Amino acid sequence: AVLTPQESDELFSVIDELKKDGTSIVFISHKLREVIRVADRITVMRKGRVVAHFKRGEASETDVARAMIGKQDVQLIQNSERGEVGEPVCVCKNLWYIDGNGIPRIRDLTFAVRRGEILGVGGVEGNGQTELINLLIGMFRLSGGSILLDGEDVTRLPIRQRRAKGVGYISEDRMTTGLALQANADENLICGVAGQPPFSRRGILRGRAIAENTAEMVRKFDIRGLTQDKPVRSLSGGNMQKIVLAREISRNPKLLIAAQPTRGLDIGAINFVREHLLEQKRRGTAILLVSADLEELMSLSDRMIILYEGRCSGEVTDIPSATEAEIGLMMGGITSSEREAN
C-alpha cells in the first residue's frame, strides 16, 4: 500500500533473488495480481479453513477469487459510465495545511469535485491524503485557502455544520473513527442525528423510530449478523463497513468522501461497496475517492489527481488510456512537464 508500482516491482525482484538464495517466503496479500506474480504455490483460506491449493500457472486471478468467496461470478465492478458530469459541488482553492511541527502537509492544492463525478485521489500513503480528508470534514483548520460547498464558503464551519450541509464521510478506518465498536447497530446508524426527528422528541429518544430505521438499513444494505444490543465489534469487517455505508449514504450527501472504502474486505464485499458508490454517482452525488489501491482508483474514477508531498503532481483525465507506469511516475513526484522533458 505504501509503494509505487515501480517500487513494488523492485520489491518483487528482491523476493525473486531471496528465493533463488534458498529463502522460504510466505506472502500474504489481498491483491491477487501480486499473489499470481510472486507465488509458486497458492493456498486460499475462507472463514478460517483451507479451501483451495494452486500451483504456479494453474490459476488465474479469477480462479483464486472464486475460491476466496465461494462464488462463480467474481468480476470486480468497474465504472462503465464515464462521461458528462454536472456543476462543481466542492471547490478547493489554494489549500495549505501546516502541522504543529511547522511542516507543510498540503501545499497550494486546488481542485473541484463535480456532481455525478468520482474524483480519485491517488499517491503513496503519507503524501497528504489523510490531512486533506481532515481539512474537508472540518477536523483540521486550514492554514490557507478556501473550501466551497455548492458555492457556500464552509472553510471555518465545524464538523457538525458541514455534515448538516451535505458532507458524508466513509472513514479510512472503520474500527477507530468509522464506528463506535461498543455500541450496537441502532446507535451507530443514528450517530450525528440522534437528537433530530424522527429519532427523538423533546430530548427523548424514540425507540420505535430508531428500530424502524435499523430494519430499513438492514434490508437495503444486506447487513447480517445483528442481534438486539449486540455491539458492532462482533460483526465481520464487511458488515461493519455496510453499517458505515448505510449511515452515510442514507443521509443523501452532496459530497461523499470515501477513504479506503474497501480496505480489508473480500471480493464480494468490495463489489458491494463499489456498486453503492457507483449508484451514488448515478444519483448525482459528488464523490471524492481516496485509495492506496491503484486498481481501485483506475476502475472507479472519472478523473484522478495524484498527491506527492501535499502537492498535485499530475491529473489523469483519460483513465482508460492511462497506464500504471505513468501514474506511478506521478506518485513518485515526477510532474507532467518533467515527464515530457524526458
Question: Distance between the two ends of the chain, CA-based, in angstroms?
Answer: 27
Per-residue pLDDT reduced to its tens digit, 228-262: 788 999 998 889 999 999 999 999 999 999 999 99
In a domain, 28, yes or no: yes
Q: Are residues 323 and 230 in the same domain?
A: yes
Q: Average pLDDT for residues 102-111, to the nearest whole number? A: 97
C-alpha cell at 215: 430494519
Q: Quick one: 93 and 146 in the same domain?
A: yes
Asked if residue 78 is part of any domain, the answer here is no
**27, 38 contact by CB (below 8 A):** yes
Is residue 79 domain-resident? no
Q: Dump pLDDT digits (tens) for 154-177.
A: 999 999 999 999 999 999 999 899
Same domain assignment for residues 204 and 101:
yes
Same domain for 55 and 114, yes or no, is: no
Percent of the chain residues past pLDDT 90, beyond the cut: 71
The pLDDT value recorded for residue 67 is 86
The answer to whether residue 82 is domain-embedded is: no
Confirm whether 291 is domain-assigned.
Answer: yes
Question: What is the largest distance, in Å, between two alpha-carbon atoms of the chain?
Answer: 72
Residue 108 shares a structural domain with residue 251: yes
Number of domains in the chain: 2
Same structural domain, 62 and 95: no
Domain-located, residue 81:
no
- Residue 340 grid cell: 515530457
Q: Domain with 324 in it: what CATH number?
A: 3.40.50.300
Query: Considering 18, 42, 69, which residue would you say is the last residue of a domain?
Result: 69
User: For residue 200, what are the β-bridge partners?
Assistant: 205
Whether residue 94 is found in the same domain as residue 65: no
Question: What's the domain range around 38?
Answer: 5-69
Domain boundary among 19, 38, 69: 69
